[in-house]
Amino acid sequence: MRSLGLVFLSAFVSLAFQIHGLIGPEGILPARDYLALVARAVHGVSAFRYAPTLLWLGSGDGALTALVVVGTIASLLLTLNVSPRGSVAVAWVAFLSFIGSAQDFASYQSDGMLLEAGFLALFFAPAGLRPGLGQESPPSRASLFLLQWEWFRIYFESGVVKLASGDASWRDMTAMDHYYENGPLPTWVGWYVQHWGHTFHAATSLETLVIELGVAWMVFLPRRYRLACFVIVTVLQVGIIATANYAFLNYLVLFLGLLLLDDEWIARLWPTPTPISAGTDDPPAWKMALPAISLTLVFYCTLAVFLLNGAPPPFRWLLWPAEAIEPFRIANRYGLFAVMTPARYEIEFQGSRDGHEWRPYPFRYKPQDPRAAPGIYAPYQPRFEWNLWFASLGSWQEYTWVVRTEARLLEGSKSVLSLFANDPFAGEPPPHVRAVAWQYWFTDTATHRRTGDWWRREEIGVYCPPLAREPDGSIRMRPEMR
């Protein structure tokens, strides 16, 4: 529970520096506009189910700040083991409120992982203001099993989709050959590991499949096998954390793995004067009804979305409970790296005073300057820059928020400018903004020693329509891109 509090804390700290630029009134995808569209399309209580968020009560900058502050405080209290049941409830509702209104900036599997874990933790957390180790209200076997079930599904379903996707790189063991270079936000450690050669990368490709499809099943075996499984997957997660920035995803999976341990193992490291008890008398049946119904529903829905996905129409009705709770992201399908990215593309925003000489807007985290070493900053999650990686793999018509970003830069939106390292135009927005695509590669070791460059890059061309601001303040597409 304390580690779950740290994961929630990392999520809210990340939002503290980004939420206004992402979904604020002057942000890229304002929550206010989105919720207004939902209200026109879906009426009554159904609108809240479609977009479950407290921002229905207000979505201005003040409301967004309050949401982050409340979520941060709740996360800190959970980390400090103060009223863990109430703290995780508040953190979960606050994070769901962001996810329910963040649109394209809330499309990650990691968000579903955290919401599912947080919901299940409502029934796992001990009661009381300062419950200590929870001897008086130990978790139910059902809540413990479902948290372990989530951990297992993250691994196993990721292995299944790798084979089911048809990506040849997972069959010929070349999946990891350029993984460290082409992932969303690499680290400098990954730069070095990338140069270790195909034999190492083929071995890690095979290791990944073996762990996801085989070792993960050890969670259901006797104690000694669970402990061995914990050691194996912990080494894997530490390696991923060191070589790639996947925000809080790998930390959450790592911490869920703690549930493979038991009191006897922990007691050897942290002896306690009071033995772990079996708890007090069983609670009355009426108090068990809500947990029983909720946990049974989640278990059924997780089975249904995995086993019945793509099922023929006669069986589709079996999915309706999962479809009904889908907006709450508490019963998800998982599947990481089903298809490996064959190349690295980056989108760079540029502004110009005259439409001929262009100046780039500098990013905080993503690759841009070839001489800048890739950083390590997870579990911090720069959602804007993360989304640009996904956008670079498709067309601007699929990711229209990139054009909206151009428009906000033309307007000089302080909220959107805060997503960048600095404003290259010192508060006077340029009349022309465009987005350019580049292809990036890690430099080889000889080039790095000679020049200090970590990257080499080649410009591909304009990614999406450049925009221009007219003298009357209106924004139009540049003529050559109509």
Structure tokens at 367: 């690759």
Task: Answer whether residue 275 is part of any domain.
Answer: no
Residues 338-380: pLDDT tens digits?
A: 999 999 999 999 999 998 999 999 999 999 999 999 999 999 9
In the chain, % of residues over pLDDT 90: 85
In a domain, 112, yes or no: no
pLDDT (average), residues 206-221: 97
Q: Do residues 158 and 72 share a domain?
A: no
Asked if 262 and 299 sit in the same domain, the reply is yes
What's the confidence (pLDDT) of residue 167?
Answer: 94
**Quick check: is 437 in a domain?**
yes
The verdict on 320 and 337 lying in the same domain is yes
Residue-number span of the structural domain to which 30 is assigned: 1-107
User: Does 93 lie in the same domain as 5?
Assistant: yes
Query: What's the confidence (pLDDT) of residue 208?
Result: 97
Tokens matching residue 302: 């997780």
pLDDT of residue 279: 47
Instruction: Report the percent of the chain where pLDDT is more than 70.
Output: 95
Residues in Cβ contact with 45 at an 8 Å cutoff, skipping those fewer than 6 apart? none
Among 270-284, 319-333, 400-414, 440-454, which stretch is predicted with the lowest mean pLDDT?
270-284
Kindly indicate the confidence band of residue 134, based on its pLDDT and cuts at 50, 70 and 90: confident
- What pLDDT was estimated at residue 248? 97
Cβ density class 108-138: b for 16+ within 10 Å, e for less: bbbbbbbbbbbbbbbbbbbebeebeebbeeb
Output the CA–CA distances (angstroms, integers) from residue 26 to 32, 351, 355, in the order listed. 10, 19, 25
Q: How confident is the model at residue 229 (pLDDT cuts 50, 70, 90)?
A: very high
Tell me, yes or no, whether 243 and 323 share the same domain.
yes
Regarding whether 366 and 466 lie in a shared domain, the answer is yes
Q: Do residues 337 and 348 both lie within one domain?
A: no
Q: pLDDT per residue over 252-297, tens digit each?
A: 999 999 999 988 877 777 776 555 544 445 666 666 788 999 999 9
Domain assignment present for 116 = no
Does residue 43 sit in the same domain as residue 155? no
Number of separate domains in the chain: 3
Summary mean pLDDT of the chain = 93
Can you list the alpha helix ranges (DSSP code H) found in 214-319?
Answer: 223-243, 249-256, 263-269, 285-307
- Say which residue the tokens 């691994």 belong to: 155
pLDDT of res. 20:
98
Residues 211 and 238 in one domain: yes
Q: Give the C-alpha distances (Å, rounded to integers) separating 81 from 3, 228, 438.
A: 10, 29, 47
User: What would the pLDDT profile of 377-413 be if each residue is shown by its tens digit?
Assistant: 999 999 999 999 999 999 999 999 999 999 999 999 9
The verdict on residue 265 lying in a domain is yes
Write down which residue in 294, 316, 341 finishes a domain. 341
The answer, yes or no, to whether residue 237 has pLDDT greater than 90, is yes
pTM of the model: 0.94
Q: What are 212's strand-pairing partners?
A: none
Predicted pLDDT of residue 44: 86
**Does residue 132 sit within a domain?**
no
145 and 47 share a domain? Answer: no
Would residue 128 count as lying in a domain?
no
Quickly state the pLDDT bin for 190 (edges 50, 70, 90): very high
> What's residue 31's pLDDT?
98
Does 405 map to a domain? yes
Residue 480 scores a pLDDT above 60:
no
Q: What pLDDT is attached to residue 136? A: 85
pLDDT at residue number 482:
40
DSSP conformation letters of 53-103: -GGGG--SHHHHHHHHHHHHHHHHHHHTTSSHHHHHHHHHHHHHHHHTT-G
Looking at 325, 341, 357, the residue that finishes a domain is 341
